Structure formats: structure tokens, C-alpha cells
Amino acid sequence: MIPELGHFALALALALSIAQAALGLFGAQRGSARLMEAAPPLAAGTLLATLAAFGCLMWSFAVNDTSVSNVAANSHSTKPMLYKLTATWGSHEGSMVLWVLILALCGGAVAAFGRDLPSALKARVLAVLGLVGVGFFAFILGTSNPFDRIWPPAPDGQGLNPVLQDPGLAFHPPLLYLGYVGCAVTFAFAIAALIEGRVDAAWGRWVRPWALAAWSFLTLGIALGSWWAYYELGWGGYWFWDPVENASLLPWLAGCALLHSAVVVEKREALKTWTVFLALLAFGLSLLGTFLVRSGVLNSVHAFASDPTRGVFILGLLMLYVGGGFALFAWRAAAMAPTGVFAPLSREGSLVLNNLLLCSIAAVVLAGTLYPMFADILLGQKISVGPPFFNTAILPLAVPLIGAMAVGAVMPWKRARLFPALQRLWWAALGGLAAFLLCLALAGARIGPALGFAAGAWLILGALADIADRLALFSRPRAALARAMALPRSAWGGAVAHAGMGVLILGLAGMGLATDRLASLKAGESVELSGYTWRLDRVESAQGPNFTARRATVSVLGADGRTVTVLEPERRSFPVGRTTTTEAAIHTSWLSDLYAVLGDERDGAAVLRLHHNPLAPWIWIGAAIMALGGALSLSDRRVRVSAPAPKSVRAGEARA
């Protein structure tokens, strides 16, 4: 009964979305206030119906209703309740329901918080969101019904993939989807602007919080996924340039460019066409990721089970929204005459540089991801593009990007001179140089990590210099606190996000100095790695809620012979589904990770892989700081309040 209700709620949501799209577009075109006013309640209705469908699905998982084939295939009665619930979005069908739920949430948020939006713009934005919803509801109902019944019911479920039974991964998809689907809102704003043929500062102010929110969620989602790969897959790596990882990085890069260029639209009414293009691109790239993961055209550990009919359906949606959006862009964007003319040496000039470099990086990642597939289908060649390509191609783009990140932030709008900007940053540059030399002195001639340390120090100190300068911390220290209170949150947010990037880069540089070794040890034997003695004490069997495990106890001794930590890496085998997972044991001192993985056992000896990863946690801490910067910036009152800020406030923050 409950699953049928859920199925019905999905169909209802489809019908409401159709109405939302049709009434919104038609009403805005006709200028009919009554029709336009119908869009927000319809969006609320879609949200309620989708919420009901999602709740029904979650309920089916909670009670382990094995007559629902999705539950039977992805859950099991012995699974802990948390993972029963998160299994709701663990499968292809369920994750699509989560996807549309977040889309409906975005629609509801635009309806609820967009009171001050011009009514035609609001109706069109809701209509485009409705239109996107129509496609995906139809996709779910047509090809991926999560409420399909099986008869007779399965005696018990087949269990969720145990690799996915982990808090990090359980919350990785919702965060990523919040990011992907947040891009749908900026997409809807872009389409609405193209229909209206008008982009102005107000539009930029409306788009920026959505771009910022989507970007922050994507940052968190990607970081959580990378962290999960680090501790769960047991390879000691954190980023593999896997096509599916790239697919999540692409909208992040486009979104990052978008939120910077939207600032230029807001402040200077320039870069309008470009910003609209980026909004279309960011959503296009999120849909591309959905297509790549779910259609089976990719060979990846992340890919869902493939089904050509689903692939064709998603490709159709991709073409409808992205192809349609770009066609509309080609037709209408010419009408949006560029207005602002500006000097290359200025805040907006540096934001253009930022956009160029970010988009170039996105182009490199896109090419590296798609080229093997297209080389296969067009030239019949099997090529694999791996980390060496991405690392060498992105480095020359990342260096100027990082260099300019700190400089751009301290430049004033309209017209700047390089020398005063650099003058503010001289001690950041000095700090970067010191980090470079220090790394060379301590770690030997390792140029890559040394450059990374220099870049990280440069960014963090640059952000500090920027804030110190805005507060006049050194020239008028007494007034600094008052100025700190008056400084807009978006200025704090920008500096925090840039510093977070610096922390992340320090983490990457530290991982460049990571060492590891493979050792086959009997109980009591030990090996040396990076100044520590790693001793295998014993290997024993252990029992978990739905798995059995072999657990090794490894004592790590410091140079002085004292025990630093005891690591207990596990190899778990799940009888349901017959899978084995490795649970790496990690001890972090926040400055470095000691990381141990248990491999096979043979003749009383266990194979252990031991890693020493300097600064590894900083990668994810840095990403979290970046997202925090986004949140700070979002909490700025000028973002929340749509009315333009009073002139006096604006004058006080000429460089904000």
C-alpha cells in the first residue's frame, strides 16, 4: 500500500510539474498576473508530492519491505537502521528520487524566498525548474520506478554494497546532488534571462547566492567522496582522476567561475553573456555527469549498473535541456549588448583571468575525460588518459590561477595599479618563498611539493594580508575591531574560501611527500617507515553486526621507542553479497596520518601496507574551510535582502 502511494505521489508530482512549467511560461509570456501567481503554489505542491514519494520509499526501506524489488536488491534485515535509511538513495532508482526531491526543494525555496523577485522572472524561473522536473519525473516513472513490486516477495534483501556501508559515503550523494541540482536554479535563471533578453545587476545579485550555495555543497560533496576513497578504498590515495570524479569536478569548476563572474555582473554590469553561458554550462556539466554515470558508456568503479534504454532517455533529457539551452543562447544572447568596458588591471579584470583559467582547467578535464570515449567510437582506438596527463596539463594553468587569486582579491574595482596591490602582498610572497626553501631544505630536491607549499602559504598569507589591509590593522590598529564588525560577510567569506584553498593545497603538497611500504610480517616482527617502527602484534578474528573480520593490531613506535599509537586495520567479509572490504586504520596527529591496511594472510604472515601521509587531513579541512567561506558569504545581508544596499554602505566597501 505505502509503495503504491509513493508511486502515485511521483505521478502527481509529474502532473504538478507540467502545470508549473506550462502556467509559468505561458503566464509570463502573456503577462497574466493570475497565471504567474499559480506557479509558486504549484512548486510547493510538487515539493509536497515529491517529499511524500521519498518518504514512502524510505519507509519501505525502514521496514525492509522485500516485496519492493528496489528494497530486495539493495537492503537487508540485518543492516543497521542508519544504512537501511541511507540505502534509499544507494541505488540508481532511489538516487533519482533524491535528485528530484532536491530539485523540488530548490523550486520550493525559490517560491518561498523569492518574494522580491520580479513576478515574470520568478514565474519563468519556476517554470524552467518545473520543466527540468517533468523530464526527470518522466524518466523515473518510465524507466526506473523505485516502487516496482516483485511477487513472491524475496525472503530477505540482497544487501547494500558493503563498500557503501559507511557514514562518509551515505552522505556523499545528498551533498553532491544539492550541488548539482543547485546548478539547475542558476540554469533556470539563465534561461529566464535569455527569454526576457535582459541581464542586469539585480539578476546577478539573484543568481550569486544560488551559485554560491551550489558551489559550497559541491565542494563538501566532492571532499567527502575523496575522504571516503582515502579511508575506505585503502589505496592511500585521495583523487584518482576517475571519469566519474572528473564529472563531479567539472560543474564545480564551472560553478566556481560562475560565482566569480556573477560578482562582475552585479557590481559592474559586465560579462553578462559570459555569465549566462557559465550558468548554462554548469548545469550542462552536472547533467553530463548524470549521463556518464548512469548510461554505461563509461568504465568506472563508480558507474551504476548500465541500461541502454535509460542511457537513451537521459541523453534525450541532456539534449533537451543543454542543447535547448545553448540553442536559446545562440538565438537570444546577441540581444544582450555588452555595456561595461573595463581595464584589464582591475578587480573585474582579474576575475576575467580567473574565469579564463578555471574554464581552461575545466576544458582540460573535460577533454581528458571524454577523449578516450570519442577516440574509441570515432577512431576505434583504445586510449586511457590517466593522472600524468591531468597533472601535467593542469599544473601550468593552476600556477597563474593561484598566483592571481591573491593579487585579484586586493585589487580595487574599475582601475588598479599592479604595484600597490603587490605592495600589500609582499610579505605573503616572502612567506611563500620561505615555505619553498624550507621544504627544499627539509625534504630534499622535490620541486613539486615545494611549489605546493609555496602556493599554499602564498594563498593563506595573501588572504590574511587582504583582511589585515581592509581592517587597517597595522596603520590604525585601534579602529580595527570596529572595522572588522563593519566589514561585509562576503568579504570575510571570500578571504576564508581563498585561505581554505591554501590549506587544501598545503595538504596536497604534504601528500606529495608521502611514503609507503609493503611488508609481509609475522606476529612480533616489525619494519621501519619514515622514522617510525611498525610492529605487528597479532591478527585475530572479529565479529561485526553483518560481517566477520580479520583484525590486525599494529603498534607504531616513535624514534624514542614509545608507542605512538595502535592501529587496527581490518579486512571484513560480508556473507550476504559475498564481498570483502578493507578498513584502513588511520591515526591522525592533524599534521600527518599513519595509515595501515591489512592484506592477505599466508603461512602465518600478514601482508601489510603502511603509509605515512604528511598533512593529509588538511586536504579535507581545506575543502571544509572553503565551503565555510561560501556559507559566510551567503549569510551576508546583501545576499539575503534583494533590495540594493544603500549607497553609504557601498561606498564604505569600495573594494568589497
Which residues are at the interface with another protein (CB under 8 A)? 271-274, 277, 280-281, 284, 291, 295-299, 306, 308, 311-312, 315, 318-319, 322-323, 326-327, 329-330, 333-334, 338, 341-344, 348-349, 352, 355-356, 359-360, 362-364, 366-367, 370, 373-374, 376-378, 380, 382, 602
Beta carbon of residue 295, minimum distance to another protein (angstroms, whole number): 6
Beta carbon of residue 576, minimum distance to another protein (angstroms, whole number): 19
Report the distance separating Cα 247 and Cα 293, nearest Å: 8
Q: Which long-range contacts (CB under 8 A, 24 or more apart) does 305-308 make?
A: 305/92, 307/143
Task: Provide the grid cell at 179.
Answer: 550541488
Beta carbon of residue 73, minimum distance to another protein (angstroms, whole number): 19
Spacing of C-alpha 40 from chain mean position: 28
Beta carbon of residue 333, minimum distance to another protein (angstroms, whole number): 5
* Strand, coil or helix: 114: coil
**How many other β-carbons are positioned within 10 Å of the β-carbon of residue 115?**
9
For another protein, the closer of residues 66 and 355 by Cβ is: 355
Selection from 190, 184, 176, 356 nearest residue 252 by Cα: 176
Would you list the DSSP string of 120-181?
Answer: HHHHHHHHHHHHHHHHHHHHHHHH--TT-B-SSPPSS-----GGG-SHHHHTHHHHHHHHHH
For another protein, the closer of residues 34 and 602 by Cβ is: 602
Reading phi first (left if > 0) and then psi (alpha if -120 to 50, else beta), residue 402 is in alpha
Report the distance separating Cα 242 and Cα 300, nearest Å: 7
Beta carbon of residue 326, minimum distance to another protein (angstroms, whole number): 4
Report the distance separating Cα 246 and Cα 340, nearest Å: 34
For another protein, the closer of residues 139 and 274 by Cβ is: 274
* Phi, psi for 550 (deg, rounded to 5): -105, 130
For another protein, the closer of residues 204 and 449 by Cβ is: 204
Q: Which long-range contacts (CB under 8 A, 24 or more apart) does 602-606 make?
A: 602/520, 604/522, 604/523, 605/520, 605/521, 605/522, 606/520, 606/521, 606/522, 606/536, 606/539, 606/552
Report the distance separating Cα 323 and Cα 318, nearest Å: 7
Beta carbon of residue 599, minimum distance to another protein (angstroms, whole number): 10
Beta carbon of residue 253, minimum distance to another protein (angstroms, whole number): 11
Beta carbon of residue 255, minimum distance to another protein (angstroms, whole number): 15
Q: How many CA within 13 A on the CB side of residue 40?
A: 16
For another protein, the closer of residues 259 and 280 by Cβ is: 280
Task: Provide the grid cell at 391.
Answer: 597533472
For another protein, the closer of residues 336 and 454 by Cβ is: 336
For another protein, the closer of residues 328 and 473 by Cβ is: 328
For another protein, the closer of residues 226 and 354 by Cβ is: 354
Give, in order, the Cα–Cα distances in Å from 586 to each of 223, 229, 519, 589. 18, 13, 17, 10
CA angle, residues 213, 215, 219, in degrees to nearest 5: 120
For another protein, the closer of residues 222 and 364 by Cβ is: 364
Residues comprising the chain, all counted: 656
Contact indicator for 177, 286 with CB cutoff of 8 Å: no
For another protein, the closer of residues 376 and 528 by Cβ is: 376
For another protein, the closer of residues 257 and 454 by Cβ is: 257
Report the distance separating Cα 149 and Cα 3, nearest Å: 8
Residue 376 DSSP one-character state: I
Beta carbon of residue 521, minimum distance to another protein (angstroms, whole number): 15
* Strand, coil or helix: 587: strand
Beta carbon of residue 165, minimum distance to another protein (angstroms, whole number): 23
For another protein, the closer of residues 80 and 338 by Cβ is: 338
Beta carbon of residue 274, minimum distance to another protein (angstroms, whole number): 4
Task: Provide the grid cell at 492.
Answer: 570575510
Beta carbon of residue 299, minimum distance to another protein (angstroms, whole number): 4
Residue pointed to by grid coordinates 591522525: 588
For another protein, the closer of residues 470 and 611 by Cβ is: 611
**How many other β-carbons are positioned within 10 Å of the β-carbon of residue 190?**
29
For another protein, the closer of residues 343 and 418 by Cβ is: 343
Q: Which amino acid, one-letter code, is at 150?
A: I
CA angle, residues 17, 22, 25, in degrees to nearest 5: 120
For another protein, the closer of residues 355 and 633 by Cβ is: 355
Beta carbon of residue 567, minimum distance to another protein (angstroms, whole number): 22
Report the distance separating Cα 484 and Cα 495, nearest Å: 13
Report the distance separating Cα 373 and Cα 382, nearest Å: 8
Beta carbon of residue 229, minimum distance to another protein (angstroms, whole number): 17
Report the distance separating Cα 433 and Cα 330, nearest Å: 47
Beta carbon of residue 187, minimum distance to another protein (angstroms, whole number): 13
Q: How many CA within 13 A on the CB side of residue 48?
A: 8
